[in-house]
Amino acid sequence: MDQNTGVGLVQQAAAISGSSAAVSDDLAAALFPKSDIILSDRMLSNGRQYLQSIVQDIETEICMIAVEDFGLTHDTIIEIGNSDRGHSFPLLQNAGLLETKTLLDHIFISVQRVELGARLLQKISQADLEAVLTRYLDNEDAAIADAAMASLVAQSRDNASPGSIHAHIASLPAEILFALVWPIVAAVQKLSGYDGPGLKKAAEKLLGRHDESAGTQSRARRLAQLVDQLAEDENHLHPLYDGLDLFLARLAKRSGLSVDQLILFTAEPNMVRLVLTMRAVDLPTDHAISIFGVLDGSGQLLTPASYNEIDGEKAAEMVSKWAGNKLFQDAQRQLNAGLAGFSD
């Protein structure tokens, strides 16, 4: 063992001694999960990959803007700007800056969306999926045609590398991008030792030019808002007919829930809340069963009897409750956490 290796081991040991203190946290999270959702290894891996790719994209973008638009000549910043690997991720991870609830929820939803997309592709080809949207291109309402075109463009961009979990900054909701940008700026400053205003200005510019409407989900929401008013589309609410994003956006609009909530429902055991939502918006039985079959990944079946026996009024009441203020719901859940017999 040469001296350098020795130094490396010493550093490693010091780092490990710090992190091992938290092993009980990891074990507790694995042993006593608080949700009913089972996180598979694939989802965890995808989640990590997704987060790393966002962080890397953002740091690269900020450094590029700082160099190109604000004339920064700092070597590390130039290197990060041209690099194809992430630099600030470990720093942010160790500092716990990536563990905010908003961010983690977003990652989970993004990963589950990819999962649903993969399930859908087992039932219909990508080409067919794209073709279903083209029917809106000729719609006599110019706004619908325009929104359909925008949605198709966004989808094509996302599907450039099918199956990939790679994130696009353009598809991030404003709040998520905002929540990530500033910790990343701080991390890059720390890594580079640069403390001038250039990075902050670059971050502001990145935020300022972010166009939410360019995101796939955003475009699907706009299209959903428009097509949901077409009477002839009344019975065609189906992922095979609309594609995943438009289907979710339309169901969200009709139920009053958010798309993120619906995606969360699809990860829950037996997708019970999704089934209830479909009942609440009065989807016909065969339709609901078909949708369940397309989105389910665990080989479960929804039978007509079990769907029909759900009381529509009760389902609507529950859905309306879920659609209420999220902070209130969270608080209510936490307050009732220790009380037996209280639930949604």
Query: Can you give the binding site for another protein, defined by CB under 8 A?
Result: 141-144, 147, 174-175, 177-178, 204, 207-213, 218, 221-222, 225-226, 229, 231, 253, 313, 316
**Which spans in the chain are helix H?**
3-20, 23-31, 41-70, 75-82, 89-94, 101-121, 126-134, 142-158, 174-192, 198-209, 216-227, 239-242, 244-255, 259-267, 272-280, 285-295, 304-308, 312-322, 326-336
Shortest approach of another protein to residue 272 CB, angstroms? 22
Shortest approach of another protein to residue 218 CB, angstroms? 6
Shortest approach of another protein to residue 228 CB, angstroms? 9
Task: Let me know the angle formed at the C-alpha of 60 by 103 and 206, rounded to the nearest 5 degrees.
Answer: 70
List phi, psi (to 5°) of 23: -60, -35
Shortest approach of another protein to residue 128 CB, angstroms? 28
Long-range contacts formed by 132-141: CB under 8 A, 24+ apart = 132/240, 132/241, 132/242, 132/243, 133/242, 133/243, 133/246, 136/223, 136/227, 141/226
* Three-state SS at 90: helix
Shortest approach of another protein to residue 71 CB, angstroms? 19
**Choice between 24 and 213, CB closer to another protein:** 213
**Choice between 34 and 209, CB closer to another protein:** 209
